[in-house]
Amino acid sequence: MYTTKVQRPAAGGSVLREREVYVFGGGPAGVAVASRLLERGRDVAILDCPPQQKPWGGESFTGAIRAPLLALGCWETFEKAGHTRGYERESAWGGAGRY
């Protein structure tokens, strides 16, 4: 796993130096792509805007998440992070009622 200190330009400033690859979005997919590119020796920066308001909830994953996290070398850290295990799922895709 790669870590780096995040530097933000001053208001109205610019990125300090050019990078070989810019990944737009610091979510799970963006971080996974940036990790893989770093492993292959690329000079990568992740560009992401923090949300204006705090998110209402969190992420939930099925057991299928294990394979990609193993491939990225993140499974052990994820497993030790103390996430709450859940065994029920309920999804709502808009509308007034429950489905």
pLDDT tens, residue by residue, 38-50: 999 999 989 888 7
Cβ-based neighbour number of residue 54 at 10 Å: 6
| Helix/strand/coil for 45 | strand
For residues 1 and 74, is the Cβ–Cβ distance under 8 A? yes
End-to-end CA distance of the chain: give it in Å, rounded: 40
Domain ranges of the chain: 21-50+62-80
Residue 5: per-residue pLDDT:
47
User: What tens digit of pLDDT does each residue of 17-74 get?
Assistant: 788 999 998 888 898 999 999 999 999 989 888 777 765 566 677 778 888 888 888 8
What's the pTM value of the predicted model, to 2 decimals?
A: 0.48
86 vs 79, which has greater pLDDT? 79
Tokens of 98: 């429950």
Euclidean distance between CA atoms 29 and 21, whole angstroms: 15
Tokens of 82: 């103390």
